[in-house]
Amino acid sequence: MELTRLLSSFAALRPRIEALIRGRVGCRATAEDIVQDTWIRMSKVRNDEAIENHASFVMRAAKNAAIGHLRKQNRRSELDAEVNELLWQSVDEISPERVEMGRDMLRAVEAALQTMPEKSRRIFLMNRLGGISHREIARRLGISDEAVYYHIRRVVERLAELRDNID
């Protein structure tokens, strides 16, 4: 396979790209994933003759990929904080009344989950109880990371409504 000018520029700049992304995301493995995703995106560009400065284009694409990753990570952190707040509110004292209230809440959560579409419920449980990452869920189900985020967000919003109604 003959490399396009764009991919040749990417290959020449790869050490610099890896360093740039690793510096932004702070994790070598994540940086490698982002570099690989950027390579795949660059390989899909069909007409790189229209690009004036291939090196600049490649560096901008890598920076954008890192920024996109950080934005997704921030959204996921916000979602995780909401879920933790919903499920792990601090308990000052364990009493029979609090235990019963907890059981009632658990039944309400189970009932709310049953009203959710199967796919949303399944994705939420894979992530929150199974500990499976958004990316892995997306890969397993053949959907985008954004779709995974949407399904989890949908369930969290329903659980937040439930919490607000109970309070």
Average pLDDT over residues 144-158: 91
CATH assignment at residue 51: 1.10.1740
What is the rounded average pLDDT for all residues in the chain?
87
Q: Determine the Cα–Cα distance for residues 74 and 159; give it in Å rounded to an integer.
A: 20
Sign of the C-alpha dihedral computed for residues 153, 151, 148 and 63 taken in this order:
negative
CB 134 within 8 A of CB 140: no
Q: In terms of domains, do 44 and 98 share one?
A: no
Average pLDDT over residues 31-50: 88
84 occurs within a structural domain: no
Q: In terms of domains, do 148 and 109 share one?
A: yes
Q: In terms of domains, do 159 and 94 share one?
A: yes
Q: Which of 24-28, 96-100, 118-122 is least confident? A: 96-100
Q: Give 50-93 pLDDT, tens digit per residue.
A: 888 999 999 999 999 999 999 988 888 888 887 777 776 655 56
- Structure pTM? 0.51
Q: How confident is the model at residue 36 (pLDDT cuts 50, 70, 90)?
A: very high
CB 166 within 8 A of CB 124: no
Task: Count up the domains in the chain and report the number.
Answer: 2
CATH assignment at residue 135: 1.10.10.10
Q: Determine the Cα–Cα distance for residues 21 and 148; give it in Å rounded to an integer.
A: 24
Q: Determine the Cα–Cα distance for residues 147 and 31; give it in Å rounded to an integer.
A: 22
36 occurs within a structural domain: yes
